């Protein structure tokens, strides 16, 4: 945690260290994309508590924060045994919204790991409707870098779905639910990645084949917009297709809808980079890979 050098009191800018656990890594040996979001969320909770707004305070005030959007750029993979330092601060306030920024780096160095931001909406816990951020809360989180309301980058528009849009269904399980009673925001990314693995299998490129060809696909940037919460036992349909295919990159689009009423719960826009697993460097997308995926590519 950052401290005020003159008083030793906590400031609104916080640093927290996380040692990478083995179970947080995927088959590539890298920390799974969703776990970066979990580090960020824990750091945000600690930063809030450090200025007097812990979970008990929010409960007493009848308020809660809900993530509306996550934007993360991955700069280097984390592996088992690494320690990552998550630095976080409030970047701006609007009437009912606040943007929190993050900078992740390797412990003991200035090497950046990721940069990110989350857009939070303050809710009245009784009505679950947006609540005006109290002036005393703004004052508590204030530091010299806080702005009154920065201009937002619009969420990228997705092209029309191709005929080969891939669809996967799954049901929300108990393990997916957080203390707020709905699917945790990081788990939406886990659903999306499960769908993205499924579409590769459907087109003849399961993970075993890709790894045998030393072909990896990693996210460079993810933007996820959360529209409505998913609840226990909801049946969800997750869809995906790609666009903007370049030499070594492509954009993947995902949506998550509730089957019962087709309500859009979340959508994602991700820039993917194809890499050589042996070197970790970008590589050209294999022609036979693209031939197999043609039906899943938007014009």
Give me the CATH topology for the region 1-153: Thiol Ester Dehydrase; Chain A (3.10.129)
Between residues 2 and 162, the one the model is more confident about: 162
* 11: pLDDT strictly greater than 80: no
Cβ distance 16 to 85 under 8 Å? yes
> φ and ψ at 61, to 5 degrees?
-85, -5
What's the pLDDT tens digit per position in 248-292? 999 999 999 999 999 999 999 999 999 999 999 999 999 999 999
Residue 149: what pLDDT? 63
Q: How many beta carbons lie within 10 A of that of residue 205, not counting itself?
A: 20
Q: How confident is the model at residue 96 (pLDDT cuts 50, 70, 90)?
A: very high
CA angle 196, 198, 204 (to 5 degrees): 110
Residue 239: what pLDDT? 98
pLDDT above 70 covers a percentage of the chain that reads 94
* 113: pLDDT strictly greater than 80: yes
Residue 142: what pLDDT? 81
Nearest to 13 by CA among 95, 102, 92: 102
Three-class SS of the chain: CCECCCCCCECCCEEEEEECCHHHECCCCEECHHHHHHHHHHHHHHHHHHCCCCHHHHHHHCEEEEEEEEEEEECCCCECCCEEEEEEEEEEECCCEEEEEEEEEECCCCCEEEEEEEEEEEEECCCCCECCCCHHHHHHHCCCCCECCCCCCCCCCCCCCCCCCEEEEEECCHHHECCCCCECHHHHHHHHHHHHHHHHHHCCCCHHHHHHCCEEEEEEEEEEEECCCCCCCCEEEEEEEEECCCCCEEEEEEEEEECCCCCEEEEEEEEEEEEECCCCCECCCCHHHHHHHHHHECC
Domain 155-299, CATH 3.10.129.10 — does that match?
Answer: yes
Q: Where in the chain is the domain with CATH 3.10.129.10?
A: 1-153, 155-299
Q: How confident is the model at residue 18 (pLDDT cuts 50, 70, 90)?
A: very high
Nearest to 35 by CA among 25, 43, 44, 22: 25
Structure tokens at 128: 């679950």
What's the pLDDT tens digit per position in 26-41? 989 999 999 999 999 9
Residue 78: what pLDDT? 96
Compute the average pLDDT of residues 153-171.
95
Residue 44: what pLDDT? 96
Handedness of CA 256, 258, 261, 265 (dihedral sign): negative
User: Edge-to-edge strand order for the sheet containing 249-258?
Assistant: 14-19, 83-93, 97-106, 112-124, 63-74, 215-226, 264-276, 249-258, 235-243, 166-171
Residue with tokens 């009848």: 62
């Amino acid at each position: 945690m950052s401290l005020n050098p003159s008083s030793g009191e906590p400031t609104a800018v916080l640093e927290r260290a996380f040692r990478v656990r083995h179970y947080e890594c995927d088959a590539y040996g890298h920390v799974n994309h969703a776990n970066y979001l979990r580090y960020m969320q824990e750091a945000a909770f600690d930063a809030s508590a450090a200025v007097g707004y812990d979970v008990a305070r929010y409960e007493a005030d009848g308020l809660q924060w809900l993530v509306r959007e996550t934007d993360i750029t991955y700069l280097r993979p984390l592996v088992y045994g690494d320690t990552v330092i998550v630095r976080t601060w409030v970047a701006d306030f609007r009437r009912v919204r606040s943007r929190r920024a993050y900078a992740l780096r390797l412990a003991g160095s200035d090497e950046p790991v990721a940069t990110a931001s989350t857009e939070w909406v303050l809710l009245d816990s009784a009505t679950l409707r947006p609540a005006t951020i109290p002036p005393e809360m703004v004052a508590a989180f204030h530091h010299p870098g806080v702005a009154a309301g920065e201009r937002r980058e619009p969420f990228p528009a997705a092209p029309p779905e191709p005929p080969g849009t891939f669809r996967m269904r799954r049901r929300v399980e108990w393990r997916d639910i957080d203390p707020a009673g709905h699917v945790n925001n990081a788990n939406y990314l886990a659903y999306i990645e499960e769908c993205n693995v499924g579409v590769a299998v459907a087109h003849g490129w399961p993970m075993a084949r890709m790894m045998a060809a030393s072909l990896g696909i990693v996210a460079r940037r993810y933007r996820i917009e959360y529209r409505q919460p998913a609840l226990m036992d909801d049946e969800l349909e997750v869809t995906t297709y790609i666009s903007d295919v370049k030499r070594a990159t492509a954009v993947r689009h995902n949506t998550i809808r509730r089957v019962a009423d087709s309500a859009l719960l979340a959508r994602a826009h991700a820039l993917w980079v194809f890499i050589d697993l042996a070197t970790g460097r970008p590589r050209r997308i294999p022609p036979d890979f693209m031939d197999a995926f043609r039906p899943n590519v938007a014009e």
